[in-house]
């Protein structure tokens, strides 16, 4: 099964109030495994970038002005997406902007009922009462996000693809069964559970039993361990 995990960055929160999509990052999964195929693009929003949005993703008006508008790259994006289910965190937001941009160009919307997979809703169902941000889920599943300084569509999609698999009971990155993980020659990761140290047990035999055993041994004629044993 082919799925696309994606994330967007925008100028704000509401497409219908003039905000625009400025970055999209997509990661292809087949049978819940990353294939290495990605799609990543920046778009010129043809408007200024609000300071509060720039603080989140670090994309300035000057930087984005060097890139094409969404209309110039829409065909390539749609070709990559195909008819696959689209996975996103708080997916209604990302679908809203993606469909807003598509609708402005006369394209039909991507159906959220048949193609939208929302990892936020999955996380709320699987872990009620916990924090469900992407950062919190990465921490929960032991996914390294140390290189995430700003929000970035491709980086966040790559992190989310790992979170998505874990939410569905996948690789179990953070089981924590052992202090040390040993990689076998065949590839799988084998967890060695630390062994509990135990004091040696000392056994004593009563003197009477030792004497009885010695008498029994003397009564055996021609033992194989004695001097009469043949080689």
CA distance 94 to 77: 14
CA distance 37 to 154: 12
Count Cβ neighbours within 10 Å for each residue of 51-80 and write b for 16 or more, e otherwise: eebbeebebeeeebeebeebeebbeebeeb
Assigned CATH topology for domain 2-167? Nucleotidyltransferase; domain 5 (3.30.420)
CA distance 30 to 2: 4
Any idea what the Cα angle at residue 221 is, between residues 220 and 225, rounded to 5°? 80
Looking at residues 119-130, what average pLDDT do you find? 96
The per-residue pLDDT for 150 is: 64
CA distance 145 to 159: 7
Strand partners, 33: 30
Q: Which residues are annotated as a binding site for a divalent metal cation?
A: 7, 9, 156
Catalytic residue selected from 89, 112, 150, 151: 151
Give the pLDDT confidence of 180-230 residue by residue, as tens digits.
Answer: 333 333 332 222 334 344 455 555 667 777 788 777 777 777 776 665 444
Q: What is the pTM of this model?
A: 0.72
The per-residue pLDDT for 218 is: 78
Looking at residues 132-160, what average pLDDT do you find? 88
Q: Which residues are annotated as a binding site?
A: 7, 9, 52, 57, 156
Does residue 127 carry a catalytic annotation? no
Q: Which residues are annotated as a binding site for substrate?
A: 7, 9, 52, 57, 156
Where do the DSSP E strands lie in 81-145? Answer: 86-88, 116-118
CA distance 158 to 147: 12
User: Residue 125 burial by CB count (10 A; 0-12/13-18/19+): exposed, middle or buried?
Assistant: exposed
């Amino acid at each position: 099964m082919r799925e696309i995990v994606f994330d967007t960055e925008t100028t704000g929160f509401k497409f219908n109030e003039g905000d625009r999509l400025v970055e999209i990052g997509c990661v292809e999964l087949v049978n819940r495994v990353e294939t290495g195929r990605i799609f990543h693009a920046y778009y010129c929003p043809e408007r200024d970038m609000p300071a509060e949005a720039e603080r989140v993703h670090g994309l300035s008006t000057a930087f984005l002005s060097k890139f094409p508008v969404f209309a110039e790259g829409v065909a390539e994006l749609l070709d990559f997406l195909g008819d696959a289910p689209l996975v996103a965190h708080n997916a209604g937001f990302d679908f809203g902007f993606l469909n807003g941009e598509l609708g402005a160009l006369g394209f039909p919307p991507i159906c959220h009922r048949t193609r939208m997979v929302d990892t936020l809703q999955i996380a709320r169902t699987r872990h009620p009462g916990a924090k469900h941000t992407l950062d919190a889920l990465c921490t929960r599943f032991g996914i390294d996000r140390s290189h995430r300084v700003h929000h970035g569509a491709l980086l966040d999609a790559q992190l989310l693809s790992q979170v998505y698999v874990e939410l569905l009971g996948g690789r179990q990155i953070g089981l924590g069964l052992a202090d040390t993980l040993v990689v076998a020659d065949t590839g799988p990761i084998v967890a060695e559970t630390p062994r509990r140290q135990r004091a040696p047990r000392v056994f004593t035999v009563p003197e009477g039993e030792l004497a009885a055993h010695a008498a029994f041994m003397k009564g055996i004629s021609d033992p194989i361990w004695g001097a009469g044993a043949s080689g």
